[in-house]
A and B are shown apart, each in its own frame.
Chain A
Amino acid sequence: MAIAVVLALLVIGSVLFNFLTPWTFTPIASNWGSIDAMIIITLAVTGIVTLAIAVFLIYVLVKYRTRPGLKAHYQPENKKLEWWLIGLSSLGIIGMLAPGLVVYNDYVTVPEEAHEFEAVGTQWRWMFRYPGDDGEFGTSEPRFINGQNPLGLNPNDPKGQDDRIILANELYVPEGRPVKALLRSVDVLHNFFIPQIRAKMDLVPGIVSWFWFTPTVKGRYEILCAELCGVGHYNMRGHMVIAEQEEFETWLASKPTFAESLTMGTMGGLIEQGKALAEGQGCVACHSVDGSPSLAPTWLDIFGRETTLADGSEIVVDEAYFRESITDPRAKLVAGFPPVMIAYDFSEEQLDALVAYARSLGADSETTEPEAATDATEDSSGASDGAISLAERGEQVASQNACSGCHSVDGTEVIGPTWKDLYGSERTFTDGTTTMADEAYLRESILNPAAKIVEGFQPVMPAVSLTEEQVDALVAYAKANSSLSLEGE
């Protein structure tokens, strides 16, 4: 009777598993609890029917197993029983379909008060857009896409000029307000999925698809791509932060408008953002930027400065300390200044911007304008402050342009070669040639990736449009991540 026993064990095991499993719904963070309810209803109906069939099957196997003298019944059909079964099954089906369609009707009916954001997918990262003060999105087309305008917005559409552009992989939405996500792809099919929200929808090049939800629980959630979109599909992750309305507005205000982004270039944009933030949030009320005495330590030449703290210890100001001082000012107070600074709950991006701005104030580091001098190369060897700041700038450029989606710095091979120990190494290419990875090679790889493909890698790196300054920064960053050096250094 092994089969009956095994079936019974499997069935009991399955039921127990269902109730004891750790793998169940993620904590819901949206209004779509009704979807969870539908899943439970469906589980209940299908579960009960499955159990009934399974139990009957087990019973039948035990009771009617062959033994001497047993003869099977001869009954070709039983119309009455069949029609009863059809009727009951139909009831079960209706019982699942009807509420399901009611909830689905909610899903396709966007509330009038919903505001909107746009999520744009590209291989293999996320970009976002909010309408500006006019409340309307400008039009977009793939033919407008270039390095300055990765979302392909129509520069001639006045409605688009004030749209807020978000290029980092992180989106904020305000808690409690229904929002319609407009989805657009510039290349292939993608899918915007956040398990805690429950909703998802494909991004289809050529159309704008959508879904809506109301974020209900504050937090930071992972955005997953849920439609196979090439080799980087599994790594196309982003984040959505559900925040208080105020925090959301602060975040949004720190984002450049489309018009600004066109004129500034990414790097300049960051410094500009930092400046705007510093002025708008009142930092400059206490921290001077020109070295003159003020209520708080001046930001001119702040990085690398030896400083005595209130508790008597000595530190050298680095980026980590700078950031900490913004978010938790009382942690390490500088001696000689009153402890009156409040904490600022800025996002990582805002902190990046402030750091960039502060650095730009340094006398021997790069200028604030996009057309930077290229004396950066002189700084790139040796351990002076200028080199570290350029390299750290490169880190920012890398993160802004999603280089880290494909290139790691810790040695793991992702989609592209790791930048760890890249500079100064010997590279072998798919055509069999080799070269030493010097600066010229690094620059070429960034600006013309198809020229030389490293052996063992796919030729999938997109062309990126960067300023000289940004490229310098990336080169410096790569060098900083390499323990190798070339002859003559």
Chain B
Amino acid sequence: MAYADDAEHEELHEPKSFWTKYVWSQDHKVIAIQYSLTAIVAGMVALTLSALMRMQIGLPGVIDMDAATYYQYVTMHGMIMVIYLLTALFLGGFGNYLIPLMCGARDMVFPFVNMLSFWFYLLSVIILFASFFVPGGPSGAGWTLYPPQAITEGTPGSGWGIILMLISLAVFIVAATMGGLNYVTTVLQARTHGMTMMRLPLSVWGIFVATILALLAFPALFVSAVMMMLDKTLHTSFFMPAMVSLGQQLDYSGGSPILFQHLFWFFGHPEVYIVALPAFGIVSDIISVHARKNIFGYKMMVWAIVAIGGLSFVVWAHHMYVSGMNPYFGFFFATTTLIIAIPTAIKVYNWVLTLWQGNLHLTVPMLFAIAFILTFVVGGMTGLFLGNVIVDVPLSDTYFVVAHFHMVMGVAPILVVFGAIYHWYPKITGRMLNDTIGHIHFWITFIGTYLIYFPMHYLGVLGMPRRYYAYEGYDFLPESAHDLNVFITVVALILGTAQFLFIFNMLYSYFRGKVASPNPWKACSLEWLTPDTPPAHGNWGDKLPVVHRWAYDYSVPGAPDDFVAQTVSTDEVASESATDDELIELEGHQPSET
């Protein structure tokens, strides 16, 4: 590829000072770590908020928390987790680190803009956290920020809280656009010699399509945020109907709260796939490496990712079945939502079929990947309940929904995050994460999250509503339901505490972990083939890698080892006695190009 030729001839301008190396860095690897650490810190704050929330639900009265504070925690927990942790970590963290390496590029195509993207992200986090300290506190309208309540009295944080929230989101969207531009353009333009689109690992495909979704969907959130900001500060009536608020007539009229919901969910549904698709891609790679087997049905996997991405734009109103929108829309959106289940199901089958007839090494990353399969299937199946409009009617706004989205966004992708960090830590730092702590962390996390969220679905079937500060005095709730809440709270507290094991492992192993070989898992994809571990500035040394095959040549018959890296040509790997059939396989499987 033309990019690769030029990249080899060019001088590398290596940063020299501490500041340009580690702070104002334009190196994608450093930016990735900056993004990831910021996201993890934000996530730990949100995790703490959830612990406090669970204390109120399960053990009310133990902490002194009033309803306003509870709702503020609910809102901040949700917003931080979805946007500032999951999106930032998958796109800004994993995207930044993996894309150039897996494509064989030296860096992203616009490194300066990439650097700016991180600092805008950090700014957005600071603005969001600042809302804890303004009069009235942070917004308590729920992460969905529905008007009119988000900006009227009666909801906590309807003053400065919501204003800072909206500004923070706008800044984040600018950051995401700058980053997204880099990720997409780099994948399209900066692949190395021989790296066709259909030879890319699925991690890249997942992040690539997710980024396209982000670029097209975040504008919808931006539009809603601008209009809500104007409604709040300048008393326009985009979303605000004629109404009273706590006895006072307000001077709005004609606006539509449902318009906000359409715009918000037009963003909101692709958003969940922005989180899920990178997880899908990454878990495919982890499974195939640790099963020593190519991913089953690579081409179908790529098409499934693209199909899911495209379909994700036409399902949004399944979040609005009981919103008061035109009831006939329910027919359309139920249909599209259930259709999107099919490419998703294909992916699940293919993951399991990859394991079948494999050579399964049950390393910590592999354990997390397997846990992902189970929890994603359970969480995804409950999505089918909610997608089918009539079934959603009794279940909407109950704990069934809370259980579903936690399982499918909070458990499954987070398990992939952990697995991915255990998997790539040796490449990023040159050391292995401690295996024993890894196993303990895994078991507590997997079993804990399952015990929390599986039973929670049944509370939803019972009719227990979500976003309630307290459940005292409701006759239809049996005493045992309150007992389950206590159980969930206790498990959640143990689970939350156990995450410090992971943090400890990361810090401890950075200094004292076993030194890793460059390719400890014996994987095929390019990131493992850098001359230095951790990779140096420019990643590849003088010459960029030349790719001869796809990223999944594991256990190829006739090959001397159970993997053939992407850069290995047939001549190098075929023995003189190779049969014709074996030679064909050794030439490297070439899924036909798009």
Chain A residues within CB distance 8 Å of chain B: 2-3, 6-7, 10, 14, 17, 21-26, 32, 34-35, 38-39, 42-43, 45-47, 49-50, 53-54, 56-57, 60-61, 64-66, 70-78, 81-82, 85-86, 89-90, 93, 96-97, 100-101, 103-105, 107-108, 122-123, 141-143, 145, 152, 183, 185-189, 191, 193, 195-196, 198-207, 209, 221-222, 224-235, 237, 413, 415, 458-464
Do A226 and B465 touch across chains, with their CB atoms under 8 A apart? yes
Cβ–Cβ < 8 Å partners of A232 in chain B: 67, 154
Do B296 and A75 touch across chains, with their CB atoms under 8 A apart? yes
Cβ–Cβ < 8 Å partners of A458 in chain B: 68, 156
Do A191 and B454 touch across chains, with their CB atoms under 8 A apart? no
**C-alpha gap A224/B470 in the complex (Å):** 13
Do A73 and B293 touch across chains, with their CB atoms under 8 A apart? yes
Chain B residues within CB distance 8 Å of chain A: 66-68, 71, 140-142, 146, 148-149, 152-156, 241-249, 254-258, 291-294, 296-300, 322-324, 327-328, 330-331, 334-335, 338-339, 341-342, 345-346, 348-350, 352-353, 355-362, 367, 370, 373-374, 377-378, 381-382, 384-385, 388-391, 393-398, 443, 446-447, 450, 454-455, 458-459, 461-463, 465, 467-471, 473-476, 478, 480-481, 484, 552, 554-557, 562, 585, 589, 591
Do A23 and B462 touch across chains, with their CB atoms under 8 A apart? yes
Do B241 and A205 touch across chains, with their CB atoms under 8 A apart? yes
Cβ–Cβ < 8 Å partners of A228 in chain B: 71, 141-142, 146, 149, 467
Cβ–Cβ < 8 Å partners of A42 in chain B: 384-385, 388, 391
Distance in Å from the Cβ of A321 to the closest Cβ of chain B?
27
Between-chain CB contacts (< 8 Å), 29 pairs? A17-B458, A38-B388, A39-B394, A42-B388, A49-B381, A64-B291, A72-B358, A74-B293, A76-B552, A77-B296, A77-B297, A101-B334, A101-B335, A105-B331, A107-B393, A108-B327, A143-B242, A187-B148, A187-B152, A188-B245, A189-B257, A191-B322, A204-B258, A205-B148, A227-B397, A231-B71, A233-B469, A460-B153, A462-B247
Given A23-B481, A96-B388, 14 other A-B contacts at CB below 8 A? Answer: A17-B455, A42-B391, A64-B355, A72-B357, A74-B554, A75-B357, A78-B297, A82-B300, A107-B390, A145-B244, A145-B249, A195-B394, A206-B256, A231-B71
Highest count of chain B CB atoms <10 Å: which of A74, A81, A96, A234: A74
Pick from B370, B377, B450: contact of A3, CB below 8 A. B370
Cβ–Cβ < 8 Å partners of A70 in chain B: 359
Residue of B with least CB distance to A56: B352
Pick from A57, A107, A198, A226: contact of B370, CB below 8 A. A57
Residue of B with least CB distance to A201: B322
Distance in Å from the Cβ of B75 to the closest Cβ of chain A?
9
Do B346 and A104 touch across chains, with their CB atoms under 8 A apart? no
Distance in Å from the Cβ of A38 to the closest Cβ of chain B?
5
Do A65 and B334 touch across chains, with their CB atoms under 8 A apart? no
Do B244 and A89 touch across chains, with their CB atoms under 8 A apart? no
Do A188 and B589 touch across chains, with their CB atoms under 8 A apart? no
Residue of B with least CB distance to A104: B390
Highest count of chain A CB atoms <10 Å: which of B243, B395, B470: B243
**C-alpha gap A230/B158 in the complex (Å):** 10
With A73-B358, A74-B556, A228-B142 already in contact, the answer to whether A204 and B257 are too (CB < 8 A) is yes
Pick from A53, A186, A202: contact of B348, CB below 8 A. A53
Pick from A38, A225, A227: contact of B391, CB below 8 A. A38
Do A103 and B149 touch across chains, with their CB atoms under 8 A apart? no
Distance in Å from the Cβ of A98 to the closest Cβ of chain B?
10
Pick from B330, B335, B377, B394: contact of A50, CB below 8 A. B377
Cβ–Cβ < 8 Å partners of A230 in chain B: 149, 152, 154-155
Cβ–Cβ < 8 Å partners of B459 in chain A: 23
**C-alpha gap A227/B261 in the complex (Å):** 13
Pick from A32, A142, A231: contact of B154, CB below 8 A. A231
Do A207 and B149 touch across chains, with their CB atoms under 8 A apart? no
Do B360 and A46 touch across chains, with their CB atoms under 8 A apart? no
**C-alpha gap A188/B260 in the complex (Å):** 13
Do A72 and B390 touch across chains, with their CB atoms under 8 A apart? no
Residue of A with least CB distance to B335: A97
7 residue pairs, one from A and one from B, having the closest CB atoms:
A195-B463, A206-B241, A462-B247, A209-B324, A230-B154, A73-B357, A72-B555
Pick from B246, B484, B591: contact of A460, CB below 8 A. B246
**C-alpha gap A415/B70 in the complex (Å):** 13
Do B341 and A57 touch across chains, with their CB atoms under 8 A apart? no
Highest count of chain B CB atoms <10 Å: which of A66, A72, A199, A229: A72
Residue of B with least CB distance to A456: B66
With A10-B450, A77-B297, A89-B345 already in contact, the answer to whether A226 and B396 are too (CB < 8 A) is yes
Distance in Å from the Cβ of A221 to the closest Cβ of chain B?
8
**C-alpha gap A337/B140 in the complex (Å):** 62
Highest count of chain A CB atoms <10 Å: which of B327, B388, B455: B388
Cβ–Cβ < 8 Å partners of B384 in chain A: 42, 45-46, 93, 96
Cβ–Cβ < 8 Å partners of B146 in chain A: 189, 227-228
Do A104 and B330 touch across chains, with their CB atoms under 8 A apart? yes
Pick from B249, B330, B476, B554: contact of A72, CB below 8 A. B554
Cβ–Cβ < 8 Å partners of B327 in chain A: 107-108
Cβ–Cβ < 8 Å partners of A233 in chain B: 71, 467-469
Do A60 and B461 touch across chains, with their CB atoms under 8 A apart? no
Residue of B with least CB distance to A46: B381
Cβ–Cβ < 8 Å partners of B341 in chain A: 89, 93
Residue of A with least CB distance to B248: A463
**C-alpha gap A35/B484 in the complex (Å):** 25
With A123-B246, A206-B255, A206-B257 already in contact, the answer to whether A200 and B322 are too (CB < 8 A) is yes
Do A142 and B346 touch across chains, with their CB atoms under 8 A apart? no
With A23-B455, A187-B152, A228-B146 already in contact, the answer to whether A199 and B393 are too (CB < 8 A) is yes
Do A191 and B67 touch across chains, with their CB atoms under 8 A apart? no
Do A108 and B458 touch across chains, with their CB atoms under 8 A apart? no
Distance in Å from the Cβ of A206 to the closest Cβ of chain B?
3
Cβ–Cβ < 8 Å partners of B258 in chain A: 204, 207
**C-alpha gap A93/B555 in the complex (Å):** 36
Do A61 and B355 touch across chains, with their CB atoms under 8 A apart? yes
Distance in Å from the Cβ of A217 to the closest Cβ of chain B?
13
Cβ–Cβ < 8 Å partners of A413 in chain B: 66
Do A77 and B397 touch across chains, with their CB atoms under 8 A apart? no
Cβ–Cβ < 8 Å partners of B244 in chain A: 122, 142, 145, 152, 186-187
Cβ–Cβ < 8 Å partners of B393 in chain A: 35, 107, 198-200
Distance in Å from the Cβ of A285 to the closest Cβ of chain B?
38
**C-alpha gap A75/B295 in the complex (Å):** 9
Cβ–Cβ < 8 Å partners of B468 in chain A: 233-234
Pick from A90, A207, A460, A464: contact of B342, CB below 8 A. A90
Do B374 and A57 touch across chains, with their CB atoms under 8 A apart? yes
Cβ–Cβ < 8 Å partners of A73 in chain B: 293, 357-358, 555
With A66-B359, A143-B242, A195-B463 already in contact, the answer to whether A200 and B394 are too (CB < 8 A) is yes
With A46-B385, A201-B322 already in contact, the answer to whether A60 and B155 are too (CB < 8 A) is no
Residue of B with least CB distance to A190: B149
Do A85 and B346 touch across chains, with their CB atoms under 8 A apart? yes
Cβ–Cβ < 8 Å partners of B291 in chain A: 64, 72
Do B562 and A460 touch across chains, with their CB atoms under 8 A apart? no
**C-alpha gap A107/B334 in the complex (Å):** 14
Do B555 and A100 touch across chains, with their CB atoms under 8 A apart? no
Do A71 and B346 touch across chains, with their CB atoms under 8 A apart? no
Do B257 and A39 touch across chains, with their CB atoms under 8 A apart? no
Distance in Å from the Cβ of B484 to the closest Cβ of chain A?
7
Do A101 and B241 touch across chains, with their CB atoms under 8 A apart? no
With A23-B484, A60-B355, A199-B394 already in contact, the answer to whether A93 and B339 are too (CB < 8 A) is yes
Cβ–Cβ < 8 Å partners of A43 in chain B: 385
Cβ–Cβ < 8 Å partners of A201 in chain B: 322, 324
**C-alpha gap A54/B377 in the complex (Å):** 9
Highest count of chain B CB atoms <10 Å: which of A122, A185, A203, A234: A234
Distance in Å from the Cβ of A111 to the closest Cβ of chain B?
15
Cβ–Cβ < 8 Å partners of A78 in chain B: 296-297, 353
Do B461 and A25 touch across chains, with their CB atoms under 8 A apart? yes
Do B467 and A23 touch across chains, with their CB atoms under 8 A apart? no
